[in-house]
Amino acid sequence: MEHIRTPKVENVRLLERSCGQRKPSVGTLYLSATHTIFVENNPETRKETWVPHSMVSGVERLPPSPTGSQLILRCKDFRVILVLIPQERDCVDIHASLARLSRPEKYSELYCLSFNPNVNKEQREESWAFVDLAADYRRMGVPNNLWVTTAANSEYRVCDTYPSELFVPKSATPAVIVGSSRFRSRGRFPVLSYFHQDTLAAVCRCSQPLSGFSGRCQEDEMMLQAVMKSNPGSDYIYVVDTRPKLNAMANRAAGKGYENEDHYTNIKLQFIGIENIHVMRSSQQKIVDVGEMRSPSMTDFLFGLENSGWLKHIKAILDAGVFIARAVADEGISVLVHCSDGWDRTAQACSVASLLLDPYYRTIRGLMVLIERDWVSFGHKFSHRYAHLDGDPKEVSPVLDQFLECAWQLSEQFPCAFEFNERFLIAVHSHIYSCQYGTFLGNCEKERRDLRLREHSHSVWPQLWKERSQFTNPLYQTDLSPSQGVLRPNTSPYCFKLWKGLYNHTEKSMPPRQSPADFLSTVREESKQLEEELTNQQEVPPGGTAHHHHNHQPGSRQATHSPDGETNHVGEGGGSTEEEED
C-alpha cells in the first residue's frame, strides 16, 4: 500500500476502447494493493471494472487538455483502457502509483500471495493434487520395460530446471545420464515427454549439445543410442532442432550448436525454423498495433497482418508438431526435440505434437495435464516470459500464447475433436498473466518449491474445472473414428486465421444475444431429453403398453419419427442454455 499515492479519485471518465465502447462511463477510480477498480456512478448498473495490476503492460500519461488529464492503460490481454482524470495532480499520482504497482520487484508483492479464497488447508493441498502427472504417464503405460524413472535428478542435483521425477531409457545408466547432462546446455539431458503405446515410439526433449565445431561426448552419444533402443521397431531416431539452421550454426561459435551426424550414427537431423523469442515478441507487438489502428482500410489491415509475420510463426510451430506426430504415429520412429535451452520452442513443439497424437489432450482436463507437464514441470520460464516481476524486457515473449493459438487454429480445422472451446483457451491465457493463482509463477519446479507456493497460494486448475460448463464445446464428439485419433491438419498458409477472439475484444462487447455455442448446447440438451423420453416409451412394463401419452407445452420441441428411424425436431427451442454438470 505504500506505493499508492492517491487511493480514490471521483468524477473519472473511463473508455474501454478495445471493447468498442464509444461513450465514456463516469464514476470513481480506486487503487488497491492488487487492482485498479472503476465503479460507475449510474445507480441502475453500478458496473465495476477490475484490472489486476499484474495485467497492466504499460501506463502512458498524455499531455493535459481542458477537459482533464488522460491515462492509457495497455493490458497483457490486449485490452486498452482510457482514463480521463479531472485534476492533473491526481493523474500524476495515479500514473506514478500504477507504474510502480504494475512492476512488482519481488514475488511477495504478487496477487496470488495475498489472494485468499474461502478454502481450508486441506482443500488448498487438494487443489495442487488436481493434476497428477504420474497418473498421466501411467495412462501412457509408463514405466515399462523400455522407459523407467530415474533418481538422478532427485533434489534437482543434475539439472535444477528439470522436475525431480523423470523418465529415461531403461538402458541409460546413471553415469550416462550425468555425462550427457554435462554436454547439454543448462544440464537439460534427453528425457521422455510422451510415449505412444501403439507404435512404442517416444517424444523426448533436451537442450542443444555443447559441441562447438568439433566437440563430442561419449556419454551423450550413448544416451541417444539408448533412446533409439527404447523403440524396438527402429534403428534410428529423428533429432528435431526447432531453430532455423543459421541460428544453430551461429551457436557453434559460442561452443554450443547441434548434433554432428558423423558422431551420432543413429540419428537423422531435421531443422524446423521457429524463430527466437525476440522475433516473436516483436511480431506480436505488430499484431497488437494492427488491432489499435483507427478505421483501417482493408489494404492497411492486410499489410499490417502480413508485415507482422505472426501467422507465419504459428504455421512454423504447427509444422514442427506435425513432423513429430507423423514420425511417431505413421513411421513409428522416436523423436528427440531441442532448441537452445529446451524450454521455449521445445515446449511448443512437444505439446503441439501431443495434441495431434492423443485425443486425451484435446479434453479440458487433458489440456490442463499437458500444460502442467510440458510447460510448468519442465521449466518454462513463466516469470521471465510473462513479466510477472520487473526485469529484463528482452526476456519477455509470448511463447505459451503461441501454443494456445496453435490449439485454437486446430480447433477451427477440427471443430468436433476438442472438448474445450475458445473461452477456455482465453481463460488460460488470462491466468498466465494475472498472477491470481500460483500455478504459472516461477521459472521452474525447484524455484516454486523454494518459494513454498503450495503453502501460500492456490492452483488455478480446480477453479477452471469448476467452471467447465462455460468452456465445453457443444460439437465435441468422443466417439471419433480411428482416423481422427491422430489429427492431420492442413498447414497451407490459407488455413490460418487471425484469432479475433483473443486480439479483438470488440466482438465480446456486442449486444447480448444467444451465441451459436449456447444455441448448440441447448439443442444438445434437448436431444438428450428426447432420447431419454424415447427410451422410456420403448421400455414396456409387464402387461403394460409401450404407448405412453405425453403432453407437450406450447413452444416446446416435439419429435416426429420418419420411416428410416431418424428424429425430426418440430417447433422452436425452449430449453435452458445452461448445461447440467455430470
Residue 402 and residue 346 in contact, taking contact as beta carbons nearer than 8 Å: no
How would you class 112 by CB atoms within 10 Å of its CB: exposed for 0-12, middle for 13-18, buried for 19 or more? buried
Question: Which segments of 206-276 does DSSP mark as H helices, in order?
Answer: 218-229, 245-252
Give CA separation, 213 vs 229, 254, 258, in Å.
27, 9, 9
Of the residues 91, 339, 350, 435, which is catalytic? Answer: 339
Find all residues with CB under 8 Å of 39, minimum gap 6, and list them. Answer: 27, 28, 30, 46, 47, 48
Burial class (CB in 10 A: 0-12, 13-18, 19+), 86: middle
Q: How far is CA 571 from the centre of its chain?
A: 40
**Would you say 497 and 461 are in contact if contact means Cβ atoms under 8 Å apart?**
no
3-class SS of residue 92: helix
CB distance 161 to 207 below 8 Å:
no
Q: Does residue 416 have an active-site annotation?
A: no
For residue 483, give every residue at least 6 positions away whose Cβ sits within 8 Å of its Cβ, in sequence order, or none.
Answer: none
Residue 27's DSSP bridge partners are: 12, 40
What is the C-alpha to C-alpha distance for residues 47 and 178, in angstroms, rounded to an integer? 58
Cβ atoms of 15 and 64 within 8 Å: the answer is no
Distance in angstroms (rounded) separating the CA atoms of residues 287 and 291 = 6
Beta bridge partner(s), residue 8? 30
Amino acid at 320: A
- CA-CA distances (angstroms) from residue 482 to 113, 357, 479, 490? 46, 12, 9, 18
Q: Are 371 and 355 in contact (CB under 8 A)?
A: no
Tell me which residue has cell 468524477.
11
Active-site residue list: 339
